Structure 1
């Protein structure tokens, strides 16, 4: 996955807005290839409200906001290329809840606020996805 530095910073800013709660958002861009060998080029980030009953331990994107983000991607000729959320107390690996609720065939990024690490994973399997922060601005 290629994540421009400006969007990397925006993702962390979103995660740190309310560090006691998990943040959630969608990533739009382009996908080249398929399966675990796909390359995901992120072009835009859509922060979403977390409406989970226990936002300190889990996330649930507000459905209408997610739908608006998906429509905006379609209008910009982008695909959903990832979802992200934070773990306020770590770790930077998928939780059992993350694995159980994964429903999209895209990488899931997890921002560990405790360690300051960001990881990307194919869920529900949990395989790590290579993540490269690029200097390129989103096109």
Structure 2
């Protein structure tokens, strides 16, 4: 589960509304727990640099590293990431599944139509072998606790 303060939730929703029709994105900082209850303390907006920002999101790697450094300086950990689906559901798309790379981190997704927030943890299990079929990768829905 993920604990999401109301102020952070509202800030993300406002960014998603303002960013429409493009997807917005950012990083969630706070207290990270891989198998338990992560707690968000702040959201760190990022520019969506994807070639097709209406259909996907991408954070510039250099800017992402700068945010990671800022989190570290503030004593926060990477809890996960967030982005919006202006015209889609609050669940991972095939593009989101293909792009997920942070095991056990939360991926918060905002749908604007209908207005909904969902959170998912990226899970990887097993050992990769030469054929690449030994690893089970998937999103698992997680409960959002308002704080």
Mark yes or no: TM-score above 0.5.
Answer: yes
Please, what is the CA RMSD of the aligned residues? 1.0
Rg larger in structure: 2
Aligned: 1:17 with 2:18: yes
Equivalenced residue count is 131
| Distance in 2, Cα, partners of 1:88 & 1:62 | 21
1:14 Cα deviation from its structure 2 partner: 1.2
Structure 2, gaps ≥5 residues long: 123-136
Relative to the length of structure 2, the TM-score reads: 0.85
Structure 1, gaps ≥5 residues long: 135-139
| Distance in 1, Cα, partners of 2:114 & 2:57 | 19
Deviations 1:74-119 (A, max 9, x none): 0011100010000010111100010010011201000001111000
Name 1:53's counterpart in structure 2.
51
1:31 Cα deviation from its structure 2 partner: 2.1
Relative to the length of structure 1, the TM-score reads: 0.90
Runs of 4+ displaced beyond 6 Å? none
| Distance in 2, Cα, partners of 1:49 & 1:31 | 23
Deviations 1:108-132 (A, max 9, x none): 0000011110000012512101111
| Distance in 1, Cα, partners of 2:51 & 2:84 | 16
